[in-house]
A and B are shown apart, each in its own frame.
Chain A
Amino acid sequence: MSAPDRRPILLAGGRVLDPSQQLDLAVGDVLLVDGKIQHAGERIARPDDAEIVDCAGLVVSPGFVDVHCHLREPGREDVETIATAARAAVAGGFTAVCAMPNTDPVTDNQAAVGFIISQAKRAAAARVYPIGAITLGQKGEALAEFGEMVGAGAVAVSDDGKPVVSAQMMRTALEYARTFGIPVADHCEDPTLAHGGAMNEGAMSMKLGLKGIPAEAEEIMAIRDILLARRTGGHVHLCHMSTKGSVELIRWGKERNINVTAEVCPHHLSLTEDAVDGYDTNAKMNPPLRTPEDVEALQQAVRDGTIDVVATDHAPHHYDEKEREFADAPNGIVGLETALAVLVTWLVEPGILTYAQLVDKMACAPARIFNLPGGTLRRGSVADVTVFDPTRAWTVDPRGFHSKGRNSPYAGRTLRGRTVCTVVDGRVVYREAAEATRA
């Protein structure tokens, strides 16, 4: 991603917030030179040749890193491409995203990993890190070639979209992944309990006459994975946690120093199963939206560190795929362009999280636990930076998304918090003012 014509960039006069080094300056400067952070701290003299970005009233933080999103390419380029997703990412303040392998064909070999990386380079927006499949074709039968995929640029393995049903396969994956120092990210779902389910099992599913997915479908797999991580010493990363019980199990594991990390999605931190009432397919996702008690437990788990990161599980679908009977509609919502605002609106403004915690969950921790560049403003680090306005109110209009996906349960809602400028590798790849002009 080097470019000889890059001018230095001075992000001037913003609140400089970098939890990776306990840095929180009410007013400071960040200077980016040759794709690296050269300075992040007190105000400095303006370099002669630098491009100045006025950040007064804005937060300047490490670029957000999404460890879980679905880019749909290859296979469903009508729904999303790596290029459109990468542009959506930077519009949402994400400088890097990790692409889940459930594409068609599945990303289960080094050539597929290389294809994603080459497409991402052409897109020249967010960094895209492929996640390889755990098993060939995500069939749960034979391990994919972790070593080859890591060599080609994969940063983790996962069969996300599907659980690893076999405990023995999961054990082997955790053991084998240790060789390469990568996390094994698991979609925790017991398929026998979840079979046919379309939403959370409870009073709402009973009222709507929809088959429910019980919380235990997730929790049984979560504790299995934690126990296998204890047995193997491998790093298990639990994807999109959605229940209070899962939080308690993760806490149990961490108290015993088991190598487990976990993520939660903005929608599970903000919405309950009530959003499904009326059969709104934009509220259909897997794991499903749960109860207020679950949402509160997840919020507290983000706050106290039991859950390490917030990830979007960005899952675009074509509008007509969602325009059908609820049980037949696909799971998933888009999330890259609303994640920041959802967290500000539902967690920071009510006082559950500080901005420092928000930045840690969206930038520092995901880079750290997936061993990725970025997630920090330390001198010499990659110049991946997000500038956001923490107070800006805006109404979500999916028609304006950079993603091809329009399936958002937040459509029409007024949220607070908006990305203003995103810098990747020392280059401004998104600037809100320019977007406004373009529009």
Chain B
Amino acid sequence: MTGATRLGKDLLALEPLSPEQIRLILDTAEPFREISERAIKKVPTLRGQTVVNLFFEASTRTRISFEFAEKRMSADTVSIAASGSSVAKGETLVDTARNLEAMRIDMVVVRHGSSGAAQFLAERIESNVINAGDGTHEHPTQGLLDLLTLRHRFGSLEGRRVCIVGDVLHSRVARSNIWGLKKLGAQVGVCGPRSLLPNAIDELGVEVFDRVEAAIEWAEALNVLRLQLERMQAGYIPSLREYNRVFGVTRERLERAPGDMLILHPGPMNRGVEIDSDVADGPHSVILDQVTNGVAVRMAVLYLLAGGRPELAEAAKSAGKGRGGDA
């Protein structure tokens, strides 16, 4: 891997990134959106680069989104689904890292159930590492695609009010969203039962709403998080039914919103639990835009980590129509 990018070697989290770095990724993603609209959705930008998608946790949406991004940039890709944790698999994560390194790969996209696992890998291998979700830490590309989606609708995030609703305690998406939104100047709220909010959430400078009605009154966009059903057994909430009754984002509640409201959801959705179908499929929803933007954001991240310069993203786009490209 040659050439230092303005992102550094890896993308592990949004918390350490500057607003400029986040804008760089979003700006770079814009031209890549267009590539996905073409009949031939392929540019040669990452030709000759090897990317390993290493998924220690089940994932469909994120893994496929990364695979599309990689293939549309002509990278050679291998996807490995490892069930359970590395320990359960019998091989330690450090051994996995050493093996990957020995195979001279260029990039690793890693999803892992342990917070910090992506950083652990990144510190031990030369290859670029992209965090595709680590435990309950961060999911930076999800955060970025949420930012891109909101930016498209709002133009700028400066001063906009975005509320994250649901299980913030166990959500890596929430953390990436909070960091990313705040860095781009948005006001951030969180809403959910206190048993699903981190005790120290106030220290992040976010508004905390105990009632979803108040959150809807305040916000211009709601990012509705999946209620992780296994949490119910752990006793964080009494029942799914009560959760829907108290915290569910329903059409009736949205109708009382003072203005237009954007509805985001990182998926997969529990329809009828945290979000009702007529909201998920309704006019406020930008959930499918998120999916589209996810591929573009991941293309941008791959591109930037591979050494691409932002002004060359445009060149990559036009090069895709002919030959060449930048790697």
A-to-B contact residues, CB < 8 Å: 201-203, 205-212, 214, 278-279, 320, 323-328
Task: Please name the residue on chain A nearest to B172 by beta carbon.
Answer: A209
Which A residues lie within 8 Å of B112 (CB)? 325
Residue contact A206 to B115, C-beta cutoff 8 Å? no
Residue contact B199 to A210, C-beta cutoff 8 Å? no
Residue contact A209 to B136, C-beta cutoff 8 Å? yes
Which A residues lie within 8 Å of B85 (CB)? 325, 328
Residue contact A327 to B204, C-beta cutoff 8 Å? no
Which B residues lie within 8 Å of A320 (CB)? 92, 94
Task: Please name the residue on chain A nearest to B87 by beta carbon.
Answer: A328
The 5 A-B pairs at the shortest CB distance, nearest first, are namely: A209-B137, A279-B116, A325-B114, A209-B115, A209-B136
Interface digits, B98-129 against A, CB 8 Å rule (1 contact, 0 not)?
A: 00000000000000101111011000000000
Interface residues of B in 9-32 (CB under 8 A from A): 15
CA distance A214 to B198 in the complex (A): 12
Residue contact A202 to B138, C-beta cutoff 8 Å? no
A-B contact pairs, 20 of them (CB 8 A): A202-B199, A203-B203, A205-B198, A205-B200, A206-B199, A209-B115, A209-B134, A209-B137, A210-B136, A211-B136, A212-B199, A279-B116, A279-B119, A323-B92, A324-B86, A325-B87, A325-B93, A325-B114, A327-B115, A327-B116
Which A residues lie within 8 Å of B135 (CB)? 209-210, 327
Question: In this assembly, does B4 line the interface, its C-beta being within 8 Å of a C-beta of chain A?
Answer: no
Residue contact A206 to B114, C-beta cutoff 8 Å? no
CA distance A211 to B135 in the complex (A): 10
Which B residues lie within 8 Å of A209 (CB)? 115-116, 134-138, 172, 175
Residue contact A279 to B115, C-beta cutoff 8 Å? yes
Interface digits, B181-206 against A, CB 8 Å rule (1 contact, 0 not)?
A: 00000000000000000111101100
Residue contact A325 to B200, C-beta cutoff 8 Å? no
Closest chain-B Cβ to A147's Cβ sits at a distance in Å of: 42
Which B residues lie within 8 Å of A206 (CB)? 175, 198-201, 203-204
Closest chain-A Cβ to B205's Cβ sits at a distance in Å of: 11
Which A residues lie within 8 Å of B120 (CB)? 279, 324-326
CA distance A208 to B120 in the complex (A): 13
Residue contact B92 to A324, C-beta cutoff 8 Å? yes
Q: Known: A201-B199, A279-B120. Contact between A207 and B114, CB under 8 A?
A: no
Task: Please name the residue on chain B nearest to A276 by beta carbon.
Answer: B116
Q: Which of B85, B115, B119, B198 has the most CB of A within 10 A?
A: B115
CA distance A207 to B87 in the complex (A): 24
Which A residues lie within 8 Å of B92 (CB)? 320, 323-324
CA distance A210 to B117 in the complex (A): 11
Residue contact B172 to A324, C-beta cutoff 8 Å? no
Residue contact A324 to B175, C-beta cutoff 8 Å? no
Closest chain-A Cβ to B109's Cβ sits at a distance in Å of: 17
CA distance A203 to B115 in the complex (A): 15
CA distance A325 to B114 in the complex (A): 6
Q: Known: A209-B135, A209-B172, A320-B92. Contact between A203 and B116, CB under 8 A?
A: no
Task: Please name the residue on chain A nearest to B117 by beta carbon.
Answer: A325
CA distance A326 to B204 in the complex (A): 23
Which B residues lie within 8 Å of A210 (CB)? 115-116, 135-137
Q: Known: A208-B137, A209-B134, A209-B138. Contact between A325 and B116, CB under 8 A?
A: yes
Which B residues lie within 8 Å of A205 (CB)? 198, 200
Which B residues lie within 8 Å of A328 (CB)? 85, 87, 114
CA distance A202 to B135 in the complex (A): 17
Which A residues lie within 8 Å of B117 (CB)? 325
Residue contact B203 to A208, C-beta cutoff 8 Å? no
Closest chain-B Cβ to A97's Cβ sits at a distance in Å of: 32
Which A residues lie within 8 Å of B114 (CB)? 325-328
CA distance A155 to B119 in the complex (A): 45
Which A residues lie within 8 Å of B94 (CB)? 320, 323-324
Residue contact B199 to A208, C-beta cutoff 8 Å? no
Residue contact B15 to A207, C-beta cutoff 8 Å? yes
Which A residues lie within 8 Å of B86 (CB)? 324-325
Which A residues lie within 8 Å of B116 (CB)? 208-210, 279, 325-327
Q: Known: A209-B137, A210-B116. Contact between A324 and B201, CB under 8 A?
A: no
Closest chain-B Cβ to A209's Cβ sits at a distance in Å of: 3
Residue contact A278 to B119, C-beta cutoff 8 Å? yes
Residue contact B87 to A324, C-beta cutoff 8 Å? yes
CA distance A208 to B200 in the complex (A): 12
CA distance A400 to B15 in the complex (A): 37
Task: Please name the residue on chain B nearest to A206 by beta carbon.
Answer: B198
Which A residues lie within 8 Å of B134 (CB)? 209
Closest chain-A Cβ to B140's Cβ sits at a distance in Å of: 12
CA distance A328 to B94 in the complex (A): 13
Interface residues of B in 186-232 (CB under 8 A from A): 198-201, 203-204
Task: Please name the residue on chain A nearest to B134 by beta carbon.
Answer: A209
Task: Please name the residue on chain B nearest to A323 by beta carbon.
Answer: B94
Closest chain-B Cβ to A427's Cβ sits at a distance in Å of: 43
CA distance A208 to B115 in the complex (A): 7
Which B residues lie within 8 Å of A279 (CB)? 115-116, 119-120
Which A residues lie within 8 Å of B200 (CB)? 201-203, 205-206
Interface digits, B136-172 against A, CB 8 Å rule (1 contact, 0 not)?
A: 1110000000000000000000000000000000001
Q: Known: A201-B199, A206-B201. Contact between A324 and B93, CB under 8 A?
A: yes
Which A residues lie within 8 Å of B204 (CB)? 203, 206
Known: A279-B119, A320-B94. 5 other contacts (CB 8 A): A207-B15, A207-B175, A209-B135, A210-B115, A325-B120
Which B residues lie within 8 Å of A325 (CB)? 85-87, 93, 112, 114-117, 120
Which B residues lie within 8 Å of A323 (CB)? 92, 94
Q: Which of B85, B116, B119, B200 has the most CB of A within 10 A?
A: B116
CA distance A95 to B115 in the complex (A): 41
Closest chain-A Cβ to B73's Cβ sits at a distance in Å of: 29
Which B residues lie within 8 Å of A203 (CB)? 200, 203-204
Which A residues lie within 8 Å of B201 (CB)? 206
CA distance A208 to B119 in the complex (A): 11
CA distance A324 to B96 in the complex (A): 11
CA distance A278 to B120 in the complex (A): 9
CA distance A206 to B119 in the complex (A): 16
CA distance A57 to B319 in the complex (A): 75
Q: Which of B86, B135, B172, B204 has the most CB of A within 10 A?
A: B135
Q: Which of A206, A279, A323, A327 has the most CB of B within 10 A?
A: A206
Interface residues of B in 53-105 (CB under 8 A from A): 85-87, 92-94
CA distance A219 to B228 in the complex (A): 31
CA distance A214 to B134 in the complex (A): 22
Closest chain-B Cβ to A408's Cβ sits at a distance in Å of: 18
Closest chain-A Cβ to B13's Cβ sits at a distance in Å of: 9
Closest chain-B Cβ to A294's Cβ sits at a distance in Å of: 14
CA distance A209 to B134 in the complex (A): 9
Q: Known: A207-B15, A209-B172, A279-B120. Contact between A326 and B115, CB under 8 A?
A: yes
